[in-house]
């Protein structure tokens, strides 16, 4: 077998993780035809078909799955070398992607991370605040905030904080529909809730005890949409306490009903020692600790 271009593995990994040429090209800042050409060259050199090419995207073949293991090991070694050999200035440049649930991502990290970006102008921070999980082994993020502690894979995790959720309504909604003094008062009220079949973690199932009290629903697939619906007076929702500081139009109803959940801060073992990742990881940890009162 003739020697292949090691750089082709970067293109292989990007397509394997993204599943589409266009998405891989954006990640690599390359033209999608270049990505396609590099994949074809790698397959020709290895004399192996690495992907099944379908209209909905690229999926790994059995040979591709075998190569993925070796390519990720090589990537990990390259990251370790960059961290160990590179100087401080180099280590604090580049990109760190943070994957987070949309609640803490939008209502806490988006404002807090600005100070870190100002401190390190050569460091690009990517905050991906979405209602979904992130695969650190597939390098969808360098750091993730999760709702449950991971138990599989080469992941390093620690508890970030507990946080509290309660029932909230807008003052305007309560003025129009009357006060809520007990759970029976929910009977004719609209609950602003999640879309059940889009919940990505069982710990997000807050409403199982309340759903029998009223059949009226307004369902939103994200925390941000739920927040905006409650602010607009659509109904009553279970919202994060830490997000409510900037919304004086909202107030707690039935304060005896509370929900406690936890966030976990997670990285992959292969990138944990990178200085830029360590800097962001430590910053998030310190800012949450400094604002502990917001969460609990």
Please state, in angstroms and rounded to a whole number, the distance separating the CA atoms of residues 256 and 164: 12
- Reported as a single tens digit per residue, the pLDDT across 88-133 is 444 467 889 999 999 999 999 999 999 999 988 888 999 999 989 8
For 155, the enclosing helix (H) or strand (E) is: strand 155-170
Q: What confidence score (pLDDT) does residue 55 get?
A: 85
CATH classification of the domain holding 52: 1.10.10.10
Q: What confidence score (pLDDT) does residue 287 get?
A: 95
Task: Let me know if residue 25 belongs to a domain.
Answer: yes
The pTM score is 0.73
Q: What confidence score (pLDDT) does residue 87 get?
A: 52
Instruction: Indicate the length of the chain as a whole number.
Output: 296
Both structure tokens of 252: 């707690």
Kindly list the averaged pLDDT for each block of 10 residues, start to end, along the chain of length 296: 73 87 86 91 92 89 88 73 56 83 96 93 92 86 94 89 96 94 91 89 82 87 96 96 93 94 93 86 94 92
CA dihedral 93, 95, 100, 104 (to 10 degrees): 40
Which residue do the tokens 């449950």 mark?
Answer: 148
Are both 181 and 148 inside the same structural domain?
A: no
Q: 41: domain range?
A: 8-85
Q: What confidence score (pLDDT) does residue 255 get?
A: 94
CATH classification of the domain holding 184: 3.40.190.10
Tally helices (H) and strands (E) across the chain: 11, 11
Are both 106 and 190 inside the same structural domain?
A: no
Task: Let me know if residue 211 belongs to a domain.
Answer: yes
Are both 168 and 288 inside the same structural domain?
A: no
Region label for 76, one of left (φ > 0), alpha (ψ between -120 and 50) or beta (otherwise): alpha
Q: What confidence score (pLDDT) does residue 80 get?
A: 65
| Cα 171 to Cα 146, 152, 188, 213, distances in angstroms | 32, 45, 17, 21
Cα–Cα–Cα angle for 255, 261, 265, nearest 5°?
145
Number of domains in the chain: 3
Residue 149 · residue 264 · CB < 8 Å:
yes
């Amino acid at each position: 077998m003739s020697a292949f271009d090691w750089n082709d593995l970067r293109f292989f990994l990007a397509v394997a993780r993204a599943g589409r040429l266009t998405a891989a090209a954006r990640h690599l800042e390359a033209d999608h035809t270049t990505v396609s050409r590099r994949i074809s060259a790698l397959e020709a050199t290895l004399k192996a078909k690495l992907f099944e090419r379908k209209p909905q995207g690229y999926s790994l073949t059995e040979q591709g799955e075998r190569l993925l293991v070796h390519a990720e090991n090589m990537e990990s070694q390259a990251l370790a070398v960059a961290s160990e050999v590179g100087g401080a200035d180099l280590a604090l440049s580049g990109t760190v992607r943070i994957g987070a649930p949309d609640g803490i991502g939008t209502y806490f990290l988006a404002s807090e991370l600005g100070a870190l970006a100002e401190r390190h102008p050569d460091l690009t921070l990517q905050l991906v605040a979405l209602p979904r999980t992130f695969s650190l082994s597939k390098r969808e993020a360098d750091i993730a905030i999760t709702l449950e502690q991971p138990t599989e894979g080469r992941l390093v995790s620690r508890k970030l904080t507990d946080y509290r959720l309660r029932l909230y309504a807008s003052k305007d909604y309560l003025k129009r529909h009357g006060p809520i003094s007990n759970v029976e008062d929910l009977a004719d009220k609209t609950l602003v809730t999640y879309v059940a079949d889009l919940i990505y973690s069982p710990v997000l199932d807050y409403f199982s005890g309340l759903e029998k009290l009223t059949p009226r629903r307004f369902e939103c697939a994200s925390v941000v949409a739920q927040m905006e619906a409650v602010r607009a007076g659509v109904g009553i929702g279970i919202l994060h306490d830490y997000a409510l500081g900037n919304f004086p139009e909202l107030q707690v109803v039935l304060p005896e009903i509370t929900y406690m959940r936890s966030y976990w801060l997670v990285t992959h073992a292969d990138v944990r020692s990178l200085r830029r990742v360590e800097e962001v990881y430590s910053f998030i940890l310190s800012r949450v600790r400094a604002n502990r009162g917001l969460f609990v």
